[in-house]
């Protein structure tokens, strides 16, 4: 391991070793792993047992195709808690030093990596080398180079790499995508994406450059980048961006507070977006065509998503995003299902290339052309 990787692991307390917890009599995943009417389940281990990992685990209780069967963590007390809460046997519990042993565990088909961004690269590659499919939380990596290395490693290992783009399965979002694809919005002219909130604890990993890879852009701005792409249906060809920083004590060098950015698309559409860690009430997508429009507000929160189009209010029912996501990802991995909006590693790299270009535009003050 090179010094940077070692530093990141230490910084995240990710190399804490502990003995496997004793097996508890009668604790089995047999009930969880039984076949459903839709086919065999995807047996998933969650890596990183923080707040979002917990949200995913709770949502998976209602999944039809995905089952939580293992955990990977650097905190022994969390493993103990999850064992009893989710009926996970000790043989399916790992730490960050020994999780390569999942290679020999038939109870685990895939690992969902939900750790700080700066750790994704090495952890995903290790999971791939262990022969397991990977779901990685977004952003997939801290830059496009690392993201591409992750894609290449998973292809070499013949495992799938998916990214936690939960909005790609959200019904109201998909209805606007459908309208755009069917020509109901006409020629797309404009997109606006507002993504932001006021971040709290200044000591959290999201404000640490080494662990987060940046600031608000990596965490929340990526929603507007991704949303512009699937709402417009094209890839941007140029980018401009400007950064505003009002609190350099909280937002250290390399950790962006607020960035306004614009993207131009080959069909002539323009996207105007805002990413910030210093303003609340910013969660809105608006796409405008010469025949109609679509609006979501809130657009990317945990729900319920609300929206309307030129035809009226969107009324698709709300279901927990992570429940839909994990069932759909199980179908992608097990059945080869093709999602309406991609969630593969290549999709993750596309967003990372745009983030790289945004940071370059901020640094140079110039328009950045994208190939």
| Domain containing residue 213: CATH number | 3.30.360.10
- Position 19 pLDDT exceeds 80: no
Sorted by sequence, the CB contacts under 8 Å of residue 249 that are 6+ apart come out as: none
Please tell me the distance from the alpha carbon of residue 60 to that of residue 327, in angstroms, as a whole number.
8
Under the banding of pLDDT at 50, 70 and 90, the label for residue 347 is: very high
Please tell me the distance from the alpha carbon of residue 139 to that of residue 257, in angstroms, as a whole number.
17
Q: Which of 163, 194, 222 is the last residue of a domain?
A: 163
Look at 193 and 4; give whichever has higher pLDDT: 193
Digit-coded pLDDT (tens) for 213-269 = 999 999 999 999 999 999 999 999 999 999 999 999 999 999 999 999 999 999 999
pLDDT for the residue numbered 38 = 73
pLDDT for the residue numbered 39 = 82
Residue 288 within a domain: yes
Residue 88 within a domain: yes
Residue 338 within a domain: no
Please tell me the distance from the alpha carbon of residue 30 to that of residue 331, in angstroms, as a whole number.
20
- Position 18 pLDDT exceeds 50: no
Residue 106 within a domain: yes
Q: In what order do the strands lie in the sheet with 293-296?
A: 312-313, 307-309, 293-296, 278-289, 188-198, 270-276, 258-264, 238-244, 368-369
140 and 224 together in one domain: no
Digit-coded pLDDT (tens) for 157-203 = 999 999 999 999 999 999 999 999 999 999 999 999 999 999 999 99
Pairing relationship of beta strands 42-47 and 110-113 according to DSSP bridges: parallel
263 and 356 together in one domain: yes
Digit-coded pLDDT (tens) for 281-322 = 999 999 999 999 999 999 999 989 999 999 999 999 999 999
Phi, psi of 250 (to 5 degrees): -80, -40
The total number of structural domains that make up the chain: 2
pLDDT for the residue numbered 5 = 55
131 and 253 together in one domain: no
- Position 364 pLDDT exceeds 50: yes
Q: What is the DSSP letter of 213?
A: S
Find the domain containing 44 and state its range: 3-163
178 and 156 together in one domain: no
Please tell me the distance from the alpha carbon of residue 172 to that of residue 190, in angstroms, as a whole number.
19
Digit-coded pLDDT (tens) for 97-115 = 999 999 999 999 999 999 9
32 and 133 together in one domain: yes
- Residue range 336-343: average pLDDT? 98
Q: Which of 163, 184, 209 is the last residue of a domain?
A: 163
* Cβ(46)–Cβ(114) below 8 Å: yes
Please identify every residue annotated as catalytic.
Answer: 138, 223
12 and 150 together in one domain: yes
153 and 34 together in one domain: yes
Digit-coded pLDDT (tens) for 258-268 = 999 999 999 99
Global pTM value? 0.92
Under the banding of pLDDT at 50, 70 and 90, the label for residue 371 is: confident
Residue 263 within a domain: yes
Please tell me the distance from the alpha carbon of residue 236 to that of residue 31, in angstroms, as a whole number.
47
21 and 109 together in one domain: yes
| CATH label of the domain that carries residue 142 | 3.40.50.720
159 and 29 together in one domain: yes
- Position 37 pLDDT exceeds 80: no
- Position 15 pLDDT exceeds 70: no
Digit-coded pLDDT (tens) for 117-169 = 999 999 999 999 999 999 999 999 999 999 999 999 999 999 999 999 999 99
Residue 335 within a domain: no
* Cβ(87)–Cβ(33) below 8 Å: no
Q: What is the DSSP letter of 305?
A: -
Under the banding of pLDDT at 50, 70 and 90, the label for residue 14 is: very low
- Position 31 pLDDT exceeds 70: no
Q: Which of 114, 140, 163 is the last residue of a domain?
A: 163
Residue 326 within a domain: no
- Position 34 pLDDT exceeds 70: no
253 and 220 together in one domain: yes
**Per-residue b/e over 95-111, b at no fewer than 16 CB within 10 Å?**
bbeebeebeebebbbbb
Hey, what's the torsion of the CAs at 18, 20, 25, 31, to 10 degrees? Answer: 110
**H/E element holding 198?**
strand 188-198
- Residue range 55-84: average pLDDT? 98
Please tell me the distance from the alpha carbon of residue 358 to that of residue 168, in angstroms, as a whole number.
23
221 and 92 together in one domain: no
- Position 24 pLDDT exceeds 70: no
% of the chain surpassing 90 pLDDT: 89
220 and 104 together in one domain: no
Residue 323 within a domain: no
Q: In this structure, what token pair is assigned to residue 3?
A: 């010094």
Q: In this structure, what token pair is assigned to residue 356?
A: 């790289």
pLDDT for the residue numbered 352 = 98
């Amino acid at each position: 391991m090179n010094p940077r990787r070692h530093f990141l692991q230490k910084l995240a307390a990710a190399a804490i070793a502990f003995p496997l917890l004793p097996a508890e009599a009668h604790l089995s995943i047999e009930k969880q792993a039984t076949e459903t009417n839709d086919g065999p389940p995807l047996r998933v281990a969650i890596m990183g047992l923080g707040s979002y990992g917990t949200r995913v685990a709770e949502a998976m209780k209602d999944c039809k195709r995905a089952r939580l069967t293992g955990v990977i963590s650097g905190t022994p007390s969390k493993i103990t808690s999850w064992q009893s809460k989710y009926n996970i046997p000790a043989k399916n519990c790992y730490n960050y030093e020994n999780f390569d042993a999942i290679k020999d565990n038939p109870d685990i088909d895939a690992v969902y990596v939900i750790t700080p961004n700066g750790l994704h690269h090495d952890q995903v590659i290790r999971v791939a080398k262990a022969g397991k499919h990977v779901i990685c939380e977004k952003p997939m990596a801290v830059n496009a180079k690392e993201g591409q290395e992750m894609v290449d490693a998973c292809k070499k290992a013949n495992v799938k790499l998916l990214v936690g783009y939960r909005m790609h399965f959200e019904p109201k979002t998909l209805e606007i995508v459908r309208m755009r694809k069917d020509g109901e919005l006409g020629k797309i002219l404009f997109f606006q994406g507002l993504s932001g909130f006021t971040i709290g604890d200044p000591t959290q990993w999201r404000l640490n450059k080494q662990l987060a890879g940046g600031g608000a852009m990596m965490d929340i701005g990526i929603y507007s980048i991704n949303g512009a792409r699937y709402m417009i249906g094209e890839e941007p060809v140029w980018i401009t961006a400007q950064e505003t920083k009002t609190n350099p004590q909280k937002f250290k060098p390399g950790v962006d507070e607020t960035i306004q950015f614009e993207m131009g698309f080959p069909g002539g559409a323009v996207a105007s977006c805002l990413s910030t860690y210093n303003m609340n009430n910013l969660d809105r997508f608006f796409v405008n065509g010469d025949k109609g429009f679509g609006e979501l507000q809130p657009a990317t929160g945990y729900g319920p998503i609300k929206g309307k189009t030129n035809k009226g209010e969107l009324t698709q029912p709300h279901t927990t995003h992570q429940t839909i996501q994990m069932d759909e990802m199980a179908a992608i991995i097990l059945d080869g299902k093709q999602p309406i909006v991609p969630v593969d590693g290549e999709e993750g790299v596309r967003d990372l290339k745009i983030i790289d270009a945004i940071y370059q535009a901020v640094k140079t003050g110039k328009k950045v052309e994208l190939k």
